């Protein structure tokens, strides 16, 4: 199972919106809505930000939103803040009942 494809880095100024893409295949991202997104700060464990493609867990800011089209899922962060600077990973359930992560995207707040 190959890793999902994410851009290595995305940057934006405070207050701006950025979008991170996550491209897979019809066997993972494109097969259903079981895509989740995780935020990881250096030296910390990952934290779920979005699940089932578009759902936000309680306690996660509504500045984070998810979407999906075909084999590509996306995470949008609006009103970018300094605390959003972190690594972001997408993850998808697959048709073989396993999971696969994306390579990660470093978000930099300029």
How far does Cα 38 stand from its chain's mean position?
6
CB distance 73 to 29 below 8 Å: yes
- Rounded least distance, CB 65 to other proteins, Å: 16
82 binds other proteins (CB under 8 A): no
Q: Is 108 in the site for other proteins (CB under 8 A)?
A: no
User: Cα separation of 5 and 90, whole Å?
Assistant: 9
Q: Could you tell me the two tokens for 47?
A: 């934290």
Interface mask toward other proteins for 28-47; x: CB under 8 A:
------x-x-x-x----xxx
Max CA separation in the chain (angstroms): 41
> Which residues of this chain interact with other proteins, rule CB under 8 A?
1, 3, 34, 36, 38, 40, 45-48, 51-52, 57, 89, 91, 93, 96-104
């Amino acid at each position: 199972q190959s890793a999902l494809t994410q851009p290595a880095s995305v940057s934006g100024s405070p207050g701006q919106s950025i979008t991170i893409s996550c491209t897979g295949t019809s066997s993972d991202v494109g097969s259903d809505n079981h895509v989740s997104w995780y935020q990881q700060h250096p030296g910390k464990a990952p934290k779920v930000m979005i699940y089932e493609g578009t759902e936000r867990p309680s306690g996660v800011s509504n500045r984070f939103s998810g979407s999906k089209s075909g084999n590509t899922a996306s995470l949008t962060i609006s009103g970018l803040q300094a605390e959003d600077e972190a690594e972001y990973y997408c993850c998808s359930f697959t048709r073989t009942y396993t999971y696969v992560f994306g390579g990660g995207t470093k978000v930099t707040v300029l």
